């Protein structure tokens, strides 16, 4: 068996998220633009010969059994490949949970990419993406990362060319929003006019921060703000900052980000911290998804 692998699992921001329709299977079709950022969980993978799959996690509030997406991903991968390999997994969490930053999905993608390598499964990228899509709607995105246009439940991933990376101030309020609850809170009909991601995708290709700021949109903000009214206030205060080119809640919340120029990042972070609404950090867009390194 190989030595330990470490997989760096990045968070994401939704720069644009429109809900297109509710589907008969209870999910929703999306038109969303996701961007990976340099905030990471680390997944340490120690392959073992036996069939046991064990997980330890730096965050004691997270389950380490079959309720954790990392274990579900490992099991789904084994089933797909018809393999009985075992592993001990150690997850170092830095991405807050229930924040809309995709931490659990990224960890699952890290398990799929890392274990496929550790167990030498020889599966194609398309086969790994298939396993990822079965584990969760956002998981396939993290296999490629960078920026992508995601449709279907979110599992159909089309990478986007980005002209210039960007910085963002990320504020993580100490409240979680359940994704399922936010979708349940959506009120139909959603809109009288069609809103789609075309302008946002164009803005990414052009690399103008102001254009990106103008195209920020998230259909899940109103339901998340109904569930957690304090978030609406935080978003309004961030959006009013002259140092930020627009602010938005990511995914189903609760994290809220504002785009900024590199030279303004420190002042924008300090200004966001004065809101006392939760921990604040500066993040940068990255051009990749989960990455495997040797231990
Ligand atoms: O796919 P995932 O397990 O990440 O989704 C979590 C929950 O979010 C689902 O159970 C569903 O209620 C909701 N969801 C949805 N439409 C999507 C993605 C998620 O309704 N496209």
Q: Where among 160, 183, 198 does a domain terminate?
A: 160
The catalytic residue positions are 12, 138
List the domain range (segments joined by +) for residue 47. 5-160
pLDDT at 279: 98
- Are residues 150 and 204 both part of a single domain? no
Q: Which residue, among 241, 245, 247, 250, has the nearest Cα to 274 in the 3D structure?
A: 241
Q: 207: CA distance to ligand 1 center in Å?
A: 31
Answer whether residue 194 is part of any domain: yes
Q: Which residue, among 42, 52, 117, has the nearest Cα to 88 in the 3D structure?
A: 52
pLDDT at 98: 93
Q: 208: CA distance to ligand 1 center in Å?
A: 32
Query: For ligand 1, which residues put their CB under 6 angstroms from it?
Result: 27-28, 30, 136-138, 153-154, 179-180, 183
Answer whether residue 295 is part of any domain: no
Residue located via tokens 């297109």: 20
Q: Where among 110, 140, 160 does a domain terminate?
A: 160
Domain count, the chain: 2
Distance of CA 216 to the CA centre of its chain: 16
Low pLDDT (below 70) residues in the chain: 1-2, 295
Widest distance between CA atoms in the chain: 58
CA distance from start to end of the chain = 14
* Pocket mutation for ligand 1, best pick of 180, 181, 218, 224 (most atoms within 8 Å of C-beta): 180
Q: Where among 109, 134, 160 does a domain terminate?
A: 160
Dihedral angle of Cα 126, 124, 162, 281, to the nearest 10 degrees = 100
pLDDT at 181: 97
- The SS3 assignment for 107 reads helix
pLDDT at 258: 98
The pTM of this model reads 0.97
* Pocket mutation for ligand 1, best pick of 12, 137, 178 (most atoms within 8 Å of C-beta): 137
pLDDT at 1: 53
Answer whether residue 230 is part of any domain: yes
pLDDT at 2: 62
């Amino acid at each position: 068996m190989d030595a330990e692998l470490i997989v760096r699992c990045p968070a994401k921001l939704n720069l644009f998220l429109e809900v297109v329709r509710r589907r008969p299977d209870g999910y929703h079709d999306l038109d969303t633009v996701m961007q990976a950022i340099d905030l990471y969980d680390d997944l340490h993978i120690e392959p073992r010969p036996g069939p046991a799959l064990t997980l330890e996690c730096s965050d004691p509030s997270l389950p380490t059994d079959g309720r954790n997406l990392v274990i579900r991903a490992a099991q789904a991968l084994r089933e797909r490949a018809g393999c009985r390999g075992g592993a001990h997994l150690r997850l170092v969490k830095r991405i807050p949970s229930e924040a809309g930053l995709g931490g659990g999905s990224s960890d699952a993608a890290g398990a799929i990419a890392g274990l496929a390598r550790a167990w030498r499964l020889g599966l194609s990228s398309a086969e790994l993406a298939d396993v990822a899509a079965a584990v969760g709607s956002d998981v396939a995105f993290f296999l490629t990362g960078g920026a992508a246009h995601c449709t279907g439940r979110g599992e159909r991933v089309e990478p986007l060319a980005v002209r210039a990376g960007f910085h963002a101030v990320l504020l993580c309020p100490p409240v979680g929003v359940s994704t399922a609850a936010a979708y349940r809170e959506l009120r139909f009909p959603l809109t009288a006019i069609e809103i789609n991601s075309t302008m946002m995708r164009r803005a990414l290709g052009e690399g103008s921060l102001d254009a990106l700021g103008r195209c920020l949109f998230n259909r899940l903000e109103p339901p998340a703000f109904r569930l957690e009214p304090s978030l609406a206030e935080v978003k309004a205060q961030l959006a009013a900052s002259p140092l930020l080119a627009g602010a938005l809640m990511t995914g189903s919340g609760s994290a809220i980000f504002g785009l900024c120029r590199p030279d303004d990042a420190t002042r924008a972070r300090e200004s966001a911290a004065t809101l006392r609404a939760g921990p604040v950090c500066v993040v940068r867009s990255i051009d990749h998804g989960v990455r495997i390194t040797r231990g």
